[in-house]
Structure 1
Amino acid sequence: MTESYDVVIVGAGFAGLTAARELSRRGYSVLQLEARDRMGGRTWTDERFGRQLEMGGTWVHWLQPHTWSEITRYDLAVVASPTAQQVRWIAGGQVRVESPADFRARITPGHNALLRDALKWFPRPYEPLSNPDLGEIDGQCILDRFGQLDLADEDRELQIGIWAEHFSAPPELCALTQALRWCAAASGDWQLMDDSTSTYRIATGTRSLAEGIHADSTADLRLGQVVRRISQDAAGAVVVTADSRTYAARQVIVTVPVNALAGIDFEPALPPLIGAAVAERLASRGLKTWIKVRGEVEPFTAYAPASNGLTWLRSEFPATGPDGDTIFVAFGPDAAVLDPNDLAGVTNAVHRWRDDLEILEVTGHHWVADEFSRETWPMLQPGQLTSYLAALQAGHGLVRFAGSDYATAWAGFIDGAIESGLRTAATVHRTFQSITR
């Protein structure tokens, strides 16, 4: 038996939850199918190490307008991550130690040089393709740009490692335009960009924001429903799950990440440009891991070259009580090189910064191996912005795509997912209005 709805939404991450809320509150019948046994997508607040840890997306900021609006709507609080007392970084195989102020002064010239033209290329961040000359630089990766800058070898190595972490990808896959888009979204100020991307988290976890949005929706959310096929013709669209359930819809919104779209059979096939994006894959292929260290450790931040298994590490939860342990969070550019749950491998990477730390446990989620994501946060390879974004946002007939992968500004963040969900819901509503006139 086929159930019929105005809209079927595939996925219950922030884009899907937002679109479901907006459309159901407008009176449309909405079915939401989520493959996992939880909401949130690539955000996931889970109980580990006796704490609520964010296994995926974490940081939010008032410069991210859509996220902050939702935080305000649901009366949520944010807390700051601990302030580092020192910075440790590796270059030329040597560990250097500096104060946070000295480290910021060190990276300022390189960051300024890399990002100085952000507003030239992206004068209106929410119209990322508005500059007709964007193709002149979209083929460049950050290695190309750093090769043009007059930096000392150790500073260039440091900068490349920083951006490999930002991209969750090896540096040769990191599009210069993606770095510029991030900075443009923060009004062209790289220090604001840094503050916006790794300083504040929701006190009650990203789960609380997802639950708030869902509670305002009347959509029918069904978990554990894996969508395998979406077909469409003049009569409408049909969505088929792995257990052969079928659902008819006037419109379908797919919030699956680009790298995971290959898991759905589309009939007719995806347009050539969208198919090419799926085949090429986005840059993201890194890892996030949580690390429990014995005892109390003074807060510090650490950076390493892209060749290290981990390129960034920071104290995130201080030790509590006399026998407490310190919790660190760390990122690396390639999950094929280091598994986030590999205690020995993670310990080896951490010991390159400090071999006096006793690593007790590590935990993470292998997002790249997860069939429903196949990536961490979405980041673009050189050429993908001008080649694919417009086609991905245009959709495929009755099928629309929404998610941080398809966002205009703040792509790669919760804000991008919410923005995309809002935009896509508005497009679907406008389509329905035009049909009924």
Structure 2
Amino acid sequence: MDNSDVLIIGAGFAGLTAARELSRHGYKTTILEARDRIAGRTHLEEHLGRNLELGGTWVHWTQPYVWAEMGRYGIHPVSGPDFTQAYWSTGNQQHTGHPDELMDLLDAPNQALLADSRKYFPLPWSPLSNPEITNIDGVTLSEAIDHLDLPADQRQLLRSFWTLNFNGALDQAAYTQALRWCAAASGSWQLMFETCATFKIEGGTRRLAEAILADSNAELLLEHPVASIHRDADGVVVRTISGHRFTARQLILAVPLSTLNDIDIQPELSATKREAATRSHAGRGAKLWVKVKGQQERFVAMGPEDAPLNFVQVEYIDANTTTLVCFGPVAAAVDVTDTAAAQRILDELVPGLEVLEIAGHNWVDDKYARSTWSMHYTGYLTESLAELQRPEGRIRIAGSDIANGWGGFIDGAIESGLDAARTVAEQLENQLRSSAVLTV
């Protein structure tokens, strides 16, 4: 049996950050990670002749937590490419032009859709501060877009743009989530889009995760999937699937919301927490890397919202090949091992490409993720977020899925990890004071 002050379940960015903070404050901290690696739903791995980000990737200076962490460890941002060609589909027609043309077509619709972002979220990192959000949290993004007086072509492009952002379908996607993202980018949809896909981490996401871990005094145990958690007035007892037993005074559950109910927690977490985990969120799509023959022009391509891959962009150009990153709204529609299928999909988006190799990871079928980045359904913000953030006894939940600011990003995970560590440290200090009083 292993005894700790704090047990942290999950070694993604939230868990690693919380572990660093608590262990460096002198608390014996143990991280139990189900996988054979750290970094959660980010995963840098060698494929197609280079290191590729199979999961979360992008960071930005509008994201204070991750930007500060990069500065702490001397890790610089790497800017993405400037694009010179764009392809897009509206109706049954394919169009070719400069990327600025595509952005111009999206400008007025996004301006109209997101005009009230700062009205509803004047303090983006306090998303529940404005009671008026209860009036719109039941509105789907699909409904909000359809409410706009747009020509059919612009409506289709706008829907595809937001299908990309949500990495899922729009029929249950929360309009409030779109407004939150835009508010966090100072109310500018262009800055929001820059935040989503411009700057990467020098050396990759793994470099930052490893830097945080190296700065920690916590014990990390890989390949320790948790089966059950029992909590009472004295502490928590955790059992892994292999039968190992761990005890602690406090516990942080830093796992994806989609997997929360896979752990047998007794007494059960609140019904609201369990229902939110069952419903999860809209991020259930695909990310695929594709190597094609020849040096291609730096292009972006946007297809129909229901296409298996509705967005493609050039990421790397080598001597004889070009590597593309692609996204689609339904993971099951993209086989990350089927090169011929990828060729058929790309033929519908960009003419004349010859697919050589592909790589990817199905995060929805991954039992330790069951989702991609968190983009919330209607009602989540006003009905679930505060409860998911509320501690239950000695258990706190952490992760990008429940962040106040940039949920769905590394930044949100770090924010949540810092918050969990602070509140756990406060609780441990209170317990120490109570014990000292009792011994006097």
Q: Name the counterpart of 1:157.
A: 156
CA contact 1:287–1:339 (8 Å) conserved in 2: no
Q: Name the counterpart of 2:203.
A: 204
Aligned residues: 433
**What RMSD over aligned residues (CA atoms) do the two structures have, in Å?**
1.0
For 2:264, give the aligned amino acid. Answer: D
Question: 1:133: Cα distance to partner?
Answer: 1.5
For 1:124, give the aligned amino acid. Answer: L
Matched, 1:3 2:15: no
CA contact 1:309–1:346 (8 Å) conserved in 2: no
Whole-angstrom CA distance in 1 between matches of 2:57 and 2:44: 9
Whole-angstrom CA distance in 1 between matches of 2:361 and 2:73: 28
Whole-angstrom CA distance in 2 between matches of 1:101 and 1:335: 30
CA contact 1:171–1:306 (8 Å) conserved in 2: no
| Residue 412 of structure 1, aligned match among 405, 408, 412 | 408
Q: Name the counterpart of 2:353.
A: 357
The runs of 5 or more residues in structure 1 that have no matched partner are none
Question: 1:228: Cα distance to partner?
Answer: 1.1
For 1:86, give the aligned amino acid. Answer: Q
Paired residue secondary structure (1:229): strand
Paired residue secondary structure (2:171): helix
CA contact 1:341–1:365 (8 Å) conserved in 2: no
Once the two structures are superposed, residues 124-145 of structure 1 have per-residue CA deviations (whole angstroms, 9 ceiling, x without a partner) of: 0111011112111111111101
Question: 1:337: Cα distance to partner?
Answer: 2.1
Question: 1:436: Cα distance to partner?
Answer: 2.0
Whole-angstrom CA distance in 1 between matches of 2:341 and 2:160: 18
Q: Name the counterpart of 1:103.
A: 102
For 1:402, give the aligned amino acid. Answer: A
The runs of 5 or more residues in structure 2 that have no matched partner are 434-440
Q: Name the counterpart of 1:235.
A: 234
Greater shift, 418-427 or 351-360, is seen at 351-360
For 1:426, give the aligned amino acid. Answer: R
For 1:351, give the aligned amino acid. Answer: D
CA contact 1:86–1:99 (8 Å) conserved in 2: yes
| Residue 321 of structure 2, aligned match among 318, 321, 325 | 325
Whole-angstrom CA distance in 2 between matches of 1:404 and 1:397: 22
Paired residue secondary structure (2:332): coil
Question: 1:239: Cα distance to partner?
Answer: 0.8
CA contact 1:114–1:146 (8 Å) conserved in 2: yes
CA contact 2:293–2:356 (8 Å) conserved in 1: yes
Matched, 1:135 2:134: yes
Question: 1:312: Cα distance to partner?
Answer: 0.8
Matched, 1:71 2:70: yes
Q: Name the counterpart of 2:215.
A: 216
Greater shift, 371-380 or 77-86, is seen at 77-86
Deviating above 4 A after TM superposition, structure 1's stretches of 4 or more consecutive aligned residues are none
Once the two structures are superposed, residues 405-425 of structure 1 have per-residue CA deviations (whole angstroms, 9 ceiling, x without a partner) of: 010000000000000000000
Question: 1:305: Cα distance to partner?
Answer: 1.7
For 1:388, give the aligned amino acid. Answer: S
Question: 1:379: Cα distance to partner?
Answer: 1.0
Whole-angstrom CA distance in 2 between matches of 1:173 and 1:40: 29
Whole-angstrom CA distance in 1 between matches of 2:335 and 2:48: 18
Q: Name the counterpart of 1:177.
A: 176
Question: 1:355: Cα distance to partner?
Answer: 3.1
Matched, 1:392 2:391: no
Whole-angstrom CA distance in 1 between matches of 2:204 and 2:324: 17
Q: Name the counterpart of 1:88.
A: 87
CA contact 2:253–2:397 (8 Å) conserved in 1: yes
Once the two structures are superposed, residues 19-40 of structure 1 have per-residue CA deviations (whole angstroms, 9 ceiling, x without a partner) of: 0000000000000011111110
Once the two structures are superposed, residues 325-346 of structure 1 have per-residue CA deviations (whole angstroms, 9 ceiling, x without a partner) of: 1000000001122233332332
Question: 1:295: Cα distance to partner?
Answer: 1.0
Paired residue secondary structure (1:207): helix
Whole-angstrom CA distance in 1 between matches of 2:92 and 2:341: 18
Once the two structures are superposed, residues 177-218 of structure 1 have per-residue CA deviations (whole angstroms, 9 ceiling, x without a partner) of: 000010111111111111111001012111100010000001
Q: TM-score, normalised by structure 1?
A: 0.98
Paired residue secondary structure (1:8): strand
Q: TM-score, normalised by structure 2?
A: 0.97
Once the two structures are superposed, residues 138-180 of structure 1 have per-residue CA deviations (whole angstroms, 9 ceiling, x without a partner) of: 1111110111111110110111011011001111122100000
For 2:220, give the aligned amino acid. Answer: L
Paired residue secondary structure (2:136): helix
Whole-angstrom CA distance in 2 between matches of 1:188 and 1:10: 35
Question: 1:82: Cα distance to partner?
Answer: 1.3
Q: Name the counterpart of 1:291.
A: 290
Within a 5 Å distance, the mapping from 1:301-312 to structure 2 comes to 301-312=300-311
Paired residue secondary structure (1:113): helix
Q: Name the counterpart of 1:254.
A: 253
Question: 1:307: Cα distance to partner?
Answer: 1.0
Q: Name the counterpart of 1:378.
A: 374
Q: Name the counterpart of 1:334.
A: 330
Question: 1:96: Cα distance to partner?
Answer: 0.9
For 2:249, give the aligned amino acid. Answer: R
Once the two structures are superposed, residues 96-147 of structure 1 have per-residue CA deviations (whole angstroms, 9 ceiling, x without a partner) of: 1121222211111111011110011111011101111211111111110111
Aligned-residue sequence identity (percent) comes to: 45
CA contact 1:164–1:174 (8 Å) conserved in 2: no
Q: Name the counterpart of 2:436.
A: none
Q: Name the counterpart of 2:41.
A: 42
Whole-angstrom CA distance in 2 between matches of 1:344 and 1:261: 36
Once the two structures are superposed, residues 328-381 of structure 1 have per-residue CA deviations (whole angstroms, 9 ceiling, x without a partner) of: 000000112223333233222211122310001111000000000100001101
Whole-angstrom CA distance in 2 between matches of 1:401 and 1:20: 13
Whole-angstrom CA distance in 2 between matches of 1:397 and 1:97: 58
